[in-house]
Chains A and B, each alone.
Chain A
Amino acid sequence: MPKHVIVIGAGPAGLETSANLAKLGIAVTLVEKEESTGGHVKQWHALFPALLPGTEALDAIRKGMPENVRVQNKTTVTGIEAVNNYFTVSGHNGWQEKADAIVFATGFQLFDARRKEEYGYGIYENVITSADLEEMFATGKSLVNRHGNKPERIGFVHCVGSRDEKVNNLHCSKVCCITAVKQAIEVKQMLPEAEVFCFYMDLRMFGRHYEELYKEAQEKYNIQFIRGRLSESAEDQDGNIVLKVEDTLLGKPLRIKAGLLVLMVGMEPLAGTKSLADKLGLTKVPDGFIQPADEVLQSNFTELPGVFVAGACSGPKSVSDTLADARSAALAVAGFLKL
């Protein structure tokens, strides 16, 4: 009897894990709460650093998906139980299956920017999030403020909901710095006359070609970087957003208006991940992200045999890191199943 694995979540991590497991001859059920697969990347116009379109990335990942992957869509996993040497997983709609191993590929949720009340998201029309901007790019909506005018100045605020203990998120979301640089360039391509400012605490350009993109943003697009974190925003009579930061390198408080303010919302652990982990008895879920058995040597294993992690459910990851992590998870599962 072929081995059967249930992969929870059909974003890039779940898709890539499933495809690789299937190629190794394992029957896979890929459970997805939404109707279609693809996760957050469905809404993402283009991926850094080379501006690969999100849909193209997903098409490539889905392409050649083996037949022994069955997608159980529109199913939210509500129950998960370890019974002897197998697992029982059940959904909100009565679906239930057994499996020899489970892969958490539940991903992340975007930080709800309304929680930073002082930034005015949901209150001031011209405060949007990086996800909103990406959707505007994807749908081809033109960048206009509420009066229908092109904004003359656009500000990007890094670390919104990340590295901020006031919202209980100590972690760095890893992708926002480079996403801000990418989006700043895209905005500048759409509105060459506009001024673009990035407000940051630290610029974490650790990935391959990130530094190059940062340099391009300076060299080719004259994007300005101010080292200071937003303390509050307000609205003026014309709907411009008035920002208060400290220009920390000059050592003076700075006030600046922007016609459009983009909040770089970070990754938070998905609320449902923690409750599923609790049901299984996983104890190492310190901040809502599942902690692998060993972060260096066993990054896809959990403390429970037969339970694996892939992608951003164990911590923020870029799409390329997620795909590599997913392939690695598939091998870890295969090794566990002694194939």
Chain B
Amino acid sequence: MKLEGKRLIWQEYQKEIADDHYFYARSCIRQTFFPGAEAVFVKILKEELGKDIHDEKHHTSCTGIGYHSDVVPFDTTMTVVARQFALMTEAGYENYAASCVTSFGLYTEILDTWHHFPETEAKIREFLFKATGREFNKPKNLAHASDIVYKFRHQIAGKAKYKLVDKDTGEPLKVVEHIGCHYSKMFPHKGIGGAEYPYVLSGMIEAWGGEVIDYPERRHCCGFGFRQYLVQANRGFSLSCSKKKFDSMEPYEPDMIITNCPGCPMFLDRWQYALSEMEGKTYGKGKNGIPVFTYEEVAGLIMGYDPWEIGLQVHQVPAEPLLEKIGIPYDPDRKFKGKNGEDLGMPESPSYLKFYADK
């Protein structure tokens, strides 16, 4: 692989990312799947980088899941998104930061639709006004939250306590980056690095000391695909897509997977459990899996935040082997304890995948 070839492509796919004053729209599902990720993002932006970020309480789902599952019509989706833009306008912001990759893709699709069909935009403005009395400005800058972390990746590295490096050997960790399909596959010029060789996560991994793995099924979808997962009869497709990726990345012995989408880390993490239960197969060394993280969690980890405070205990594939490899301290006794030390209960131990609750 010639890195300079990729660099040439990366230069072609750069985009403007606002420097400050973000209107942050959270994801429907991320706070359940990876509860610390969004909190870490807000904390890093506010406390470490001193940025102004408005964490909006009144926004709703963008309807992306319903839209992509064919249950919400596009007009409805556009009107709901118009309401989010109205909330941004009312709050006095013009830089929209979406936590969710599907929302980001949908906002991009809607703004592109309105650009080509101004009459559609006029119609949606009318719908929103009739329904809610609201009006809106379109965002001056639209970014996915990973774009913003990418933009400040070097500042984060400058403040970091740890690197994505094996503390014993000094070797960079081998990292799989996985980009949500809706980030740049629909609009390559709206994603850092484009669709074929996205750079948004690779840039973070490089800046934070790791080494990116380019494996044959890198471009393949995690398998979420909405209609695949939401219909139980189709769920096997979802699992099989993830399996295809694991089989392809396994020979590279990755230390971790980093993702920028709500669904991908969920499926790449939980399906490792399902695959181990169904086939007895685990993809890490020993009986470990390959731990899966959101980029915010990784930013939090290298900043030295407590692994349990950023929600790593809810991962299906335990993060402990990676924490030990980097040299990040953690208290095994506190893994399943709440904020004030109360017992949160412990999940059932998987049959094959190594479990790290035992003292």
Chain B, residues 1-35, CB within 8 Å of chain A (1/0): the string is 11001101100000000000000000000000000
Interface assignment of B187: CB less than 8 Å from any CB of chain A: no
Max chain A CB contacts within 10 Å: which of B6, B197, B214, B216? B216
* B75 at interface, CB cutoff 8 A: no
Contact across chains for B6 and A123 when beta carbons are under 8 A apart: yes
* Interface check B330, CB cutoff 8 A: no
Query: Mask for A230-256, Cβ within 8 A of B = 1, else 0?
Result: 001011110000100000000000000
Q: Which residue in B8, B195, B216 is a CB contact (below 8 Å) of A234?
A: B216
Q: Name which of A2-10, A114-122, A175-183, A307-315 contacts chain B.
A: A114-122
Known contacts A114-B5, A114-B9, A237-B252; 13 further A-B pairs (Cβ under 8 A): A117-B196, A117-B197, A122-B2, A122-B8, A123-B5, A123-B197, A124-B2, A125-B1, A232-B219, A234-B216, A235-B1, A235-B216, A236-B215
Total A-B contacts with CB atoms under 8 angstroms apart: 38
Is B347's CB within 8 Å of the partner chain A? no
Give the top 9 A-B pairs by smallest Cβ distance, nearest first. A123-B5, A122-B5, A234-B216, A117-B196, A242-B216, A118-B196, A236-B216, A123-B6, A123-B2
- CB nearest neighbor in B for A235: B1
Q: Which residues of B contact A235 (CB under 8 A)?
A: 1, 214, 216
Complex: how many Å from CA A118 to CA B220?
13
Least Cβ–Cβ distance between B216 and chain A, in angstroms: 4
**Interface magnitude class on chain A:** 10 to 19
Q: Which residues of B contact A (CB under 8 A)?
A: 1-2, 5-6, 8-9, 194-197, 214-219, 251-252
A117 near B1 (CB under 8 angstroms)?
no
Contact A234 B215 (CB under 8 A): yes
A236 to B214, CA, bound (A): 8
Q: Which residues of chain B have C-beta atoms less than 8 A from A232's C-beta?
A: 196, 219
B residues within 8 A CB of A236?
215-216
> Which residues of the partner chain A approach B197 to less than 8 Å between Cβ atoms?
117, 123
Do A234 and B1 contact each other (CB < 8 Å), given the known contacts A117-B9, A117-B197, A123-B197? Answer: no
A114 pairs with B8, CB closer than 8 A: yes
A-B contact pairs, 13 of them (CB 8 A): A114-B9, A117-B9, A117-B194, A117-B196, A123-B2, A123-B5, A123-B6, A124-B2, A232-B196, A232-B219, A234-B214, A235-B214, A237-B252
Q: How far is the CB of B217 from chain A (nearest CB, A)?
A: 7
| CB closest residue in chain B, given A244 | B216
Closest to B194 in A: A117
A125 to B4, CA, bound (A): 11
Contact A234 B194 (CB under 8 A): no
Q: B219 to A125, Cβ gap below 8 A? A: no
Report how far A237 CA is from B218 CA in the complex, Å.
13
Give min CB distance, B196 to chain A, whole Å. Answer: 4
**Residue of A122, A123, A124, A236 with most partner-chain B CB within 10 A:** A123
A255 CB to nearest B CB, Å: 9
Note all chain A residues with C-beta closer than 8 A to B214. Answer: 234-235
